[in-house]
Amino acid sequence: EDQVTQSPEALRLQEGESSSLNCSYTVSGLRGLFWYRQDPGKGPEFLFTLYSAGEEKEKERLKATLTKKESFLHITAPKPEDSATYLCAVVRSNDYKLSFGAGTTVTVRA
């Protein structure tokens, strides 16, 4: 069974204080790893897809990286509007459904 573990569960940052979120996964035949952002009371919003070890994607202050066992989401110089829950999910080869981790809730204080 696929396992996706995210750490830490919660992260409190000062505005401008860079940090990283971890997503470790166990899946037989990874097709892709996904990062989503979720605001309270809303559905998840797509951020990135990573397909192979060594791949990196960037969007504004966010950068996602992938190894064979884990992915990192780096937040550089965060702003209060980056406060959200960040979800990691994997899709197995020959499959289509996402298996999500429990998420990391990030709070950025001004």
Residues in contact with other proteins by CB under 8 A are 4, 31-32, 34, 36, 41-46, 49, 87, 89, 91, 96-103
Instruction: Give the CA radius of gyration of the chain.
Output: 13
Please, which residue, 79 or 92, has the CB nearer to other proteins? Answer: 92
Give strand ranges (E) for 1-61: 3-7, 10-14, 19-26, 30-38, 45-50, 56-59
Please, which residue, 84 or 98, has the CB nearer to other proteins? Answer: 98
Two structure tokens written together for 4 = 């996706």
Two structure tokens written together for 92 = 């197995």
- 3-class SS of residue 15: coil
Rounded to whole angstroms, the Cα distance separating 38 from 107 reads 13
Supply the minimum distance, in Å, between the C-beta of residue 27 and other proteins. Answer: 13
Supply the minimum distance, in Å, between the C-beta of residue 77 and other proteins. Answer: 27
Please, which residue, 12 or 42, has the CB nearer to other proteins? Answer: 42
Supply the minimum distance, in Å, between the C-beta of residue 103 and other proteins. Answer: 6
